[in-house]
Amino acid sequence: MHTTHKILVTGGEGQLAQALKHVRGDNDICIFVDKNELDITSAEALEEFFKEHRPDVVINTAAYTQVDASESYPETAFSVNDVAVKNLAGICESYNCKLIHISTDYVFDGTAHQPYRETDPTNPVTVYGKSKRAGEEAIQNSKLKSYAIVRTSWLYSPYGHNFYKTMLRLAHSKNELSIVNDQKGSPTNALHLAEALLLIAHTLKPENSGLYHYCNGGQTTWFGFAKAIFEKHNLSIEVKPVTSEEYATAAQRPAYSVLDSNKIKKTFSLNIPDWQTALNTL
């Protein structure tokens, strides 16, 4: 049985926070806050909050994730994805609190042909990716002893905004969809990630602190993922494969986003199912 931890979850209204609400155990005291309840870009606001609540662990799911909008509003992206993370690392150090921070495959340029490991060099090509990498570095350059930076990708669940929910919504209003088929990744069930994060919250210490990747196993394209979603829900809709060029966006999407999860599996004794199995557990 786990000891009781007081866990602060930022980004309380987001997809991953809602998944954490769903899977948390009875013996954890979880405090979920959104940006209106706690402004993590303000060091003063954090100091006040920590003085009152004194959490043992912070799971930072807060992020500015609007990839295209980040190109037009870089200050906003860096404020939430970098400055706020620096603030969290500083306050966690002061209060001897563990920090689990969620990062992204966008710290890579997407030109690889085999799953990215934690030791691979980063090369973000978007403002969003650069802001998230800056946040990682803020933690790595801090004096915080117990932390985990967990990169993930293609996150979906019944909560928040994600590809899975968008596909189900569109399937009820359209007969045909065109979906990108030249970007590869590993769809990751946010409920599985949430379970892993809670386990890490209980077992994290200076000796196993560091950078980790977490994704469901295997790989597919957005086109392949869409087809699997429709199959699971017995929806008959025509899905046409298109290229990234045909579906232009303001920010470049990585052509290859597959992350190697072996390190996190081994370190925390996690069983991570492949993406098809994970999809069918919803």
Positions annotated as catalytic residues are 128
Per DSSP, helices labelled H in the chain are: 15-23, 43-53, 67-72, 74-78, 84-94, 127-140, 163-171, 190-203, 222-232, 262-268, 275-280
φ, ψ of residue 154 to 5 degrees: the values are: 50, 45
In 154-181, which positions are buried (b, 16+ CB within 10 angstroms) versus exposed (e)?
A: bbbbebbebbbbebeeebeeeeebebbb
Tokens of 33: 């806050």
Nearest to 135 by CA among 72, 80, 93: 80
* DSSP state string for 14-32: SHHHHHHHHH--TT-EEEE
Cβ-contact 108, 254 below 8 angstroms: yes
The three-class DSSP label of residue 116 is strand
Nearest to 223 by CA among 272, 180, 175: 180
Angle at 262 (CA atoms; ends 260, 264), nearest 5 degrees: 105
Tokens of 278: 């994970």
Amino acid identity at 84: A
